[in-house]
Structure 1
């Protein structure tokens, strides 16, 4: 949850990160490739996402690619 009460969700089954703004009834896709994969622009089973307030960015545990991306 960020300072604006926006929630970020690692949707590991669909290989994407969703953003839910406070009061919204639906989330929107914030980070996603066209499909799962191991290229730098693709997610593969993302398990966690945190907010780095210092850089105003998301840090994603890209589990099956064995890497953390920002």
Structure 2
């Protein structure tokens, strides 16, 4: 049988803006080195927590208007590139490791139900061929995108 008590590996210091806090963490991804990436919805950021860290580091986003709005699903590839659903802006962003700004790889072109639009995107995943799948929640569908 498994353990009945969990171990806090990120956050746990109440809600807030501090590097040891979240405000509504929503999605997570654990890489091969056991780094934990968490989308921090209200703080509009993605944080990375290394094993044993007392604080995380902001690897994407922030509260400035030019940044993300309501990050959701995320994925980190073997090269450390972060892909994150920017739900509030109806798009998907790619952040190269160490980058100060992300690039738009799927632009929702405004809220809508056309194939070039998203409406409340949530999660994402990749297949072995490198195709990206995005959960397009309010359109009740999953869309596939070829990413270069």
SS in 1 for 2:138: helix
1:6 alignment counterpart? 81
Q: Is the 8 A contact 2:109 2:116 kept in 1?
A: no
Separation of aligned partners in 1, 2:86 and 2:117: 13
Separation of aligned partners in 2, 1:67 and 1:38: 10
In structure 1, list runs of 5 or more residues that go unmatched: none
Separation of aligned partners in 2, 1:48 and 1:8: 10
Separation of aligned partners in 2, 1:49 and 1:26: 20
2:41 alignment counterpart? none
Separation of aligned partners in 1, 2:123 and 2:108: 16
Establish whether residue 23 from structure 1 lines up as the match of residue 98 from structure 2: yes
TM-score, normalization: structure 2?
A: 0.45
Deviation of the 1:33 alpha carbon: 2.9
Q: Is the 8 A contact 1:2 1:51 kept in 2?
A: no
Q: Which is bigger in relative contact order (C-alpha 8 A, separation at least 6)?
A: 1
Separation of aligned partners in 1, 2:132 and 2:86: 14
Alignment of 1:1-70 (within 5 A): 1-52=76-127, 54-70=128-144
In structure 2, list runs of 5 or more residues that go unmatched: 1-75
